[in-house]
Amino acid sequence: MPLLPPGDERQGERQGARSLRVDAERNRVRIVQTARRLYATEGLEVSLAAVAREAGVGKATLARNFASREDLIAAVFLDAMDGYIAITAEALSDPDPWHGFVSYIHDVCRLQAGDRGFAVVLSSAYPAAGALEAKRAEALHGFLQLITNAKATGHLREDFASEDMVLLMMANAGLIAATAEHAPDSWRRFAGLMQRAFANPGAPLPTLPRAPSSADLYRAMGRSG
C-alpha cells in the first residue's frame, strides 16, 4: 500500500475532521427540528427516545448533543421566546395601553394555541437554561410596564398582579391540551373571559367569542378522561 506524502496525510485528516463536524451539526439540526415538530403537536410529554427514533439518530448521538431534556427544550424554544418578546413590545407600543393589554392577553393565548409544547414552556421555569430564562425575564419586564400603563387608564383592576398572567398561561396550556382535537378554538373563549375578569366595570372590550358546542366539549372531556 503506497504511503501518502505528509502534506496529503494532514489534508486528509483535516477533511475527515471537517466531515465529522458537518455530520455532527446535521444531526443536531435534525434532532432540534424533529423535537420542535413533536413538541408542537404532542406536547412536552414526548420522550427523548421518541425524538431520537423519529430523527433517525441513536440515543447516544442525542445525548452527546443534549445532556438533558431541559437542554433540548431550551434549544427548541429559544427562538419562539422572541415571538413572546415581540408580543410584549407590540402591546407596549399601542397608544392605548388598555387596548394593548387586552390584545396582549389574546395574543399570548394564541401563541400558546399554535404550539402545545410552547404553551407549557411559557408557564414553566427552566433555571438551568440561562438564555431561555433571560428572554423570559425581558418579556416580563415589558409586561410589568404594560400593567402599570393599563392601570393608569382606570380600566385594569387595581388588584391585578403579574402572577395572574402566569395562572392564565398555566390554565390555557391545560385547556389547549384537552381540547386540541375536538374544540381547538376554545382558547378564544377563555381569553375573552379572562379579559373580562381583569377589567373594571365599563371597560371597553372586544366581543366575547362564542363558546364551543356541548358536543365538541363532551368529546374533548372524553379524550381527557
Which domain CATH number covers 214? 1.10.357
Conformation bin of residue 165: beta by default, left when phi > 0, alpha when psi is -120 to 50: alpha
Count of domains observed in the chain:
2
Within-domain flag for 72: no
Q: Going along 5-144, which residue ranges are E strands? A: none
Within-domain flag for 38: yes
Q: Are residues 62 and 93 in the same domain?
A: no
pLDDT of residue 222: 85
Tens digits of residue pLDDT in 71-85:
999 999 999 999 999
Within-domain flag for 1: yes
Q: Are residues 165 and 191 in the same domain?
A: yes
End-to-end CA distance of the chain: 69
Q: Are residues 3 and 83 in the same domain?
A: no
Which of 151, 223, 134, 135 has the alpha carbon at shortest distance from 183?
223
Helices (H), the chain: 6-42, 48-55, 59-65, 69-93, 97-113, 116-121, 130-152, 162-179, 186-198, 214-224
Q: Is the Cα dihedral 127, 26, 116, 41 positive or negative?
A: negative
54 is in which domain, residue-wise?
Answer: 1-66
Within-domain flag for 43: yes
Which pTM value belongs to this model?
A: 0.83
pLDDT of residue 17: 47
Tens digits of residue pLDDT in 87-105:
999 999 999 999 999 999 9
